[in-house]
A and B are shown apart, each in its own frame.
Chain A
Amino acid sequence: MSLLTVQNLRQHFPVRGGVFHRAVASVKAVDGVSFSLNEGETLGLVGESGCGKTTLGKAVVRLLNPSAGSINFQGNDITHASMSSLRPLRRDMQMIFQDPAESLNPRHTVRDILAEPFIVQKLGTRVEHTRWVAELLEKVGLPSSAGDKFPFEFSGGQRQRIGIARAIALKPKLIVCDEPVSALDVSVQSQVLNLLLDLQREMGLSYLFIAHGLSVVKHMSDRVAVMYLGKIVELAPSEELYHNPKHAYTKALLDTIPIPNPSKRRGRQLLQGDVPSPINPPPGCAFGHRMKHPAWEKSVGMDLSLTEVAPGHWVQPCPCCT
């Protein structure tokens, strides 16, 4: 069953300027995105820096007020849910951030940090909090003595474990994982990825898993969505996307991944140009525009909603890239 359904979601930010500080333009960070996420499933989200991954993640768990479109979570439309009606929802949706150091209050002990969600939700007694915190620490593989320490006393990997412990404290249904291992040492990344996989199995969690490295995303996800300049251009089961990419951008992205096997060096098709700005995105297919594809003009004015080309495999149907 679908836990989360996002339809035509837009998240625009005003760009202010001039003497009156008026909105003179808008950043179309997320510009018409649709997908659904099932219970216990992981949907991966990849794309270049600035394409709107974090914004989409934040909008989904309603840390932002969406500009348009709809978000349906467990059968309820939460697109414009008010602050007060969001509080009970916070139990069920959580977010893990890229930089564990920044997302943990440095002046609070780990015990305080982990007990906070219970206090905010007015759950349990202090005695229960102590017990729950101990259980959380054990669950994420930290010693119980960790509770008395401060975040800076831990390594990056351990801090990310604390972030994960806080996210699972209220036994949520959905966690948005925003680049959860990018800031970690290589040898510690796999520990954290394993922890996320284990917790998902144990607790039946659903993940929206964001990263810009396709190999990590592919490994963690049942399905993967490829984002380009505020839009999803392709969405397919992990293996299918990797073996049978349809959109030119997905192919290009696959091509840029450095393969850790020196016997398999490839001559690659390199992307030209830089990631464009979402302030004035070109009309039609933005990637066809970047590649100066001769058929790009045909995409202008077309309906570019994703179409299903094989079971569960969705692609933006532009004449230039597919």
Chain B
Amino acid sequence: MSAILSVRDLVTGFDTDAGRVIAVDRVSFDVPEGKTLGIVGESGCGKSVTAFSITRLLPQPHGKILGGSIMFGDRDLTKLPHEEMRKLRGNEISMIFQEPMTALNPVQTVGKQLAEAILLHNEKCRKAEVLSRSIELMKKVRIPAPEQRLNEYPHQLSGGMRQRVMIAMALINTPKLLIADEPTTALDVTVQAQILDLMKDLQREMGMSIVLITHDLGVIAETCDEVVVMYGGRIVERAEVKQLFAQPRHAYTQGLLSSIPRLDSTPKTRLKAIPGNVPSITEFRTGCRFADRSGREHTSEQLNNRSPFIEVTPGHWVENCGACVS
């Protein structure tokens, strides 16, 4: 299986008043061509920073890629000049964000914003053509009565509709890679299901690869082919989706999978819980970051030195902490 994107030893940090913090700490993964890679993990574990590193949209001037490579074909995105990166974004790589309301301009009609986005990458496009492309895109993301919707403002659309418009914008130039950062978190369960289905359909139609960021393991199970599990700025485990759910190897993945209530569990029974809280970036250890919550005895070696990321079975990788991986 060939990869459309290969991330190797990516390190991304921020320079803050209190010094430099490392938000993404040597992560490596591949996005398989035409497939969906899920990135799952809890608040602050570095999912968005990973996505912004790939698209080079890190908050400036504080966010910096400090090491590693991001290969997209034969180009290393970490080294691409800004101008070239700008061309690549919206053409070959597109991104959709969690909060569609903040990404859309509230005082412009949907049609105007779509038209601008179309013209941004195809300056010579004629007016009539822009309109027909806009309508075509709206249809593609299954928005009913598109001609009419184009004249409306974002606040006149429901959350699900707005997210569809965002997806339409991301699809303008038929990207090879779509990065979706929590595209459904702000939406209702029923609308979430519609949007995820739409993304799957579009993937089938257009053959694009998707990176889907979420903290919902159910969403991962239903939509992804490969999964990366992040904890405290690192990848603790990475595997094909069925393998990950059937045989999780890292204590964090195991804990996460057994702590979520399931429809087939017996009501009102205690759940298995992971004790403690998600660590904050200023208290990250050099060694195993899950140690304090794992309930497992760690040696000082395991606490103070990072264990290698190894392939335990073909395609199944884990940060091989002797205490957390058994």
Residue of A185, A187, A213, A218 near B267 (CB, 8 A) is A218
Whether A257 and B261, one on each chain, are in contact in the complex, defined by CB atoms closer than 8 angstroms, is no
Whether B265 and A219, one on each chain, are in contact in the complex, defined by CB atoms closer than 8 angstroms, is yes
> Main SS of the interface on chain A?
helix
Whether B189 and A253, one on each chain, are in contact in the complex, defined by CB atoms closer than 8 angstroms, is yes
A48 vs B272: C-alpha distance in the bound complex, in angstroms?
A: 28
- Within B136-172, the residues touching A (CB, 8 Å) are 158, 160-161
Total chain B interface residues with beta-carbon distance under 8 A: 48
Shortest Cβ gap from B238 to chain A (Å): 15
Whether A256 and B189, one on each chain, are in contact in the complex, defined by CB atoms closer than 8 angstroms, is yes
Residue of B217, B218, B220, B259 near A257 (CB, 8 A) is B218
Judged by a CB distance under 8 angstroms, whether A268 is at the interface is yes
Judged by a CB distance under 8 angstroms, whether B260 is at the interface is yes
Whether B262 and A187, one on each chain, are in contact in the complex, defined by CB atoms closer than 8 angstroms, is no
Shortest Cβ gap from B232 to chain A (Å): 12
Shortest Cβ gap from B226 to chain A (Å): 11
Whether B218 and A259, one on each chain, are in contact in the complex, defined by CB atoms closer than 8 angstroms, is yes
Shortest Cβ gap from B154 to chain A (Å): 15
A187 vs B220: C-alpha distance in the bound complex, in angstroms?
A: 16
Residues of B within 8 A of A254 (CB): 263
Judged by a CB distance under 8 angstroms, whether B3 is at the interface is no
Shortest Cβ gap from B157 to chain A (Å): 9
A184 vs B160: C-alpha distance in the bound complex, in angstroms?
A: 23
Q: B176-203 interface mask toward A, CB cutoff 8 Å, 1 = contact, 0 = none?
A: 0000000000001111111011000000
Residues of A within 8 A of B160 (CB): 274
Q: B193-227 interface mask toward A, CB cutoff 8 Å, 1 = contact, 0 = none?
A: 11011000000000000000001111111101000
Whether B278 and A188, one on each chain, are in contact in the complex, defined by CB atoms closer than 8 angstroms, is yes
Residues of B within 8 A of A263 (CB): 242, 245-246
A192 vs B268: C-alpha distance in the bound complex, in angstroms?
A: 13
Judged by a CB distance under 8 angstroms, whether B42 is at the interface is yes
Q: A180-223 interface mask toward B, CB cutoff 8 Å, 1 = contact, 0 = none?
A: 00000111111101100110000000000000111110111110
Judged by a CB distance under 8 angstroms, whether B323 is at the interface is no
Judged by a CB distance under 8 angstroms, whether A75 is at the interface is no
Whether B193 and A190, one on each chain, are in contact in the complex, defined by CB atoms closer than 8 angstroms, is no
Whether A194 and B273, one on each chain, are in contact in the complex, defined by CB atoms closer than 8 angstroms, is yes
State whether A215 and B262 are in contact (beta carbons under 8 Å apart), knowing that A252-B190, A275-B158 are contacts in the complex: yes
- Within A214-235, the residues touching B (CB, 8 Å) are 214-216, 218-222
A15 vs B263: C-alpha distance in the bound complex, in angstroms?
A: 39
Residues of B within 8 A of A274 (CB): 158, 160-161, 191
Residues of B within 8 A of A188 (CB): 274, 277-278
Judged by a CB distance under 8 angstroms, whether A157 is at the interface is yes
Judged by a CB distance under 8 angstroms, whether A94 is at the interface is no
Shortest Cβ gap from A47 to chain B (Å): 9
Whether B222 and A220, one on each chain, are in contact in the complex, defined by CB atoms closer than 8 angstroms, is no
Judged by a CB distance under 8 angstroms, whether B271 is at the interface is yes
A189 vs B259: C-alpha distance in the bound complex, in angstroms?
A: 8
Shortest Cβ gap from A201 to chain B (Å): 9
Whether B260 and A190, one on each chain, are in contact in the complex, defined by CB atoms closer than 8 angstroms, is yes
Whether B263 and A259, one on each chain, are in contact in the complex, defined by CB atoms closer than 8 angstroms, is yes
Judged by a CB distance under 8 angstroms, whether A262 is at the interface is yes
Whether A187 and B278, one on each chain, are in contact in the complex, defined by CB atoms closer than 8 angstroms, is yes
A274 vs B160: C-alpha distance in the bound complex, in angstroms?
A: 8
Contacts A/B (CB < 8 Å), 15 sampled: A185-B43, A185-B277, A187-B42, A187-B278, A190-B273, A194-B271, A214-B189, A219-B262, A255-B193, A256-B189, A258-B218, A260-B218, A271-B190, A271-B194, A275-B158
Q: Which 10 A-B pairs have the closest CB atoms?
A: A258-B218, A219-B261, A256-B193, A190-B271, A190-B259, A190-B273, A187-B274, A185-B42, A262-B221, A274-B158
Residues of B bordering A, CB below 8 Å? 42-43, 158, 160-161, 188-194, 196-197, 215-222, 224, 241-242, 245-246, 255-257, 259-263, 265, 267-275, 277-278, 293
Residues of A bordering B, CB below 8 Å? 42, 48-49, 155, 157-158, 185-191, 193-194, 197-198, 212-216, 218-222, 238-239, 242, 252-263, 265, 268, 270-271, 274-275
